[in-house]
Amino acid sequence: MSATRDGKMWRCQFYYKDWQGVSHKKNKRGFKTKAEAEQWERDFLQQQQRNLDINFENFVQIYYEDMEHRLRENTMRTKKFIIDLKIIPYFKKKNMNEIKASDIRAWQNALMKKGYSETYLKTVNNQLSAIFNYAVRYYDLKDNPCRKAGSIGKSHAGEKEFWTKQEFKQFLVTVENKPETKMAFLLLYWTGMRIGELLAITYNDIDLEKRTISVNKSYQRIEGRDIITPPKTPKSKRIITIPSFLTEELKEYISHLYGIMAEERMFRFTKSYMEHEIIRGIKASGVKRIRLHDIRHSHASLLVEMGFTPLAIAERLGHEKIETTLNTYSHLYPNKQGELADKLEIENSREEEE
């Protein structure tokens, strides 16, 4: 080890070779103790080895460094939060090539005892599995121990909550005196857009003559910064046709936007503001409590009730796969199946009469 005194603190200096075999000198200062400096050097060198004879915590850092260039910033922040809080504390000192399915099962059991929701358990377990899948694909780990251990939790927490058209109208009364807020909720309910897609809309994205809105980006507020990113998936880039009454509402709203630039966001608030407004409006109107994202489900349920096919709904919502639509809204289709059977019965009766 090469830890040395640096005034009242400690520092470490050493040479290492990068992934191209080029030698570099590393100089890190500011450690309170010699042990801290030496541990930092050990962790750094282990990460440079890029093999599986490495502890879980250091391998996760390699995983982070790679994935942060490939995932959206907010997705990466969520991933890190879950892994750092729920996974690393349990496995951090175990070597990657020593973690067994039995270790995963023990961790799963400990997690289930904490009383988390089924969907959260599934999410956390998926993050651990993703790390091992990464090791299998790029570092020649023989297999993913999570597969042998089996999964926990559920992908969907039963039926989605949503508002009927009447409930939405009842809620809308509570934002009548806030034109910007009202317009935002109208667009969410009648288009099924994601909140990030709505907040990224600019004047250029709207064609009032063709009655369309182009969804081609997403907005997030992260640590005080406005972040514009591509939509969630390639299929999320889409053009949504809107009904005439909504076009008229948009015309009226836009006519009062003085000085807005063509590329400037039309809605100048954030998701947290909208979440505050939906909570306030629910209390004021007395409608059932739903999440902001459930307005998207409300639009989908309206389309199902109107008889649109899963394919048409998937295209409007920007789902990457039609299976997503079917899995998310399958509970809304049993009644439609009954109606279909009734119509077939009527059709058969007609043929017999003829």
Which tens digit of pLDDT belongs to each residue from 129-167?
999 999 999 888 889 999 999 999 987 666 678 999 999
Question: What is the Rg, in whole angstroms, of the alpha carbon atoms belonging to the chain?
Answer: 27
Q: pLDDT tens for residues 178-229? A: 999 999 999 999 999 999 999 999 999 999 999 999 999 999 988 888 999 8
**Which pTM value belongs to this model?**
0.69
Q: Which CATH superfamily is domain 3-149 in?
A: Tyrosine recombinase, N-terminal domain (1.10.150.130)
pLDDT at 307: 85
pLDDT beyond 60 at 264: yes
Q: CATH 1.10.150.130 residue ranges in the chain?
A: 3-149
Question: 73-82 and 118-139 helices cross at what angle (nearest 10)?
Answer: 100
CATH topology assigned to domain 165-286: hpI Integrase; Chain A (1.10.443)
Q: Residues 344, 346, 348, 354: what is their CA dihedral angle, to the nearest 10 degrees?
A: -150
Rounded CA separation 300/1 (Å): 61
Give the residue-averaged pLDDT of 37-52: 76
How many other C-beta atoms lie within 10 A of the C-beta of residue 245?
A: 10
pLDDT at 174: 97
Q: How many CA atoms lie within 13 A of 229 on its CB side?
A: 18
pLDDT beyond 70 at 335: no
- SS3 letters across the chain: CCEEEECCEEEEEEEEECCCCCEEEEEEEEECCHHHHHHHHHHHHHHHHCCCCCEHHHHHHHHHHHHCCCCCHHHHHHHHHHHHHHHHHHHCCCEHHHCCHHHHHHHHHHHHCCCCCHHHHHHHHHHHHHHHHHHHHHHCCCCCHHHHHCCCCCCCCCCCCCCCHHHHHHHHHHHCCCHHHHHHHHHHHHHCCCHHHHHCCEHHHEECCCCEEEECCEEEEECCEEEEECCCCHHHCEEEECCHHHHHHHHHHHCCCCCCCCCCECCCCCHHHHHHHHHHHHHHHCCCCCCCCHHHHHHHHHHHHCCCCHHHHHHHHCCCCHHHHHHHHHHHCHHHHHHHHHHHHHHHHHHHHC
Rounded CA separation 265/67 (Å): 29
pLDDT beyond 80 at 46: no
pLDDT at 231: 86
Tokens 């639509």, residue? 325
Rounded CA separation 238/215 (Å): 5
Q: What tokens does 57 get?
A: 């915590």
Percentage of the chain lying above the pLDDT 90 cut: 55
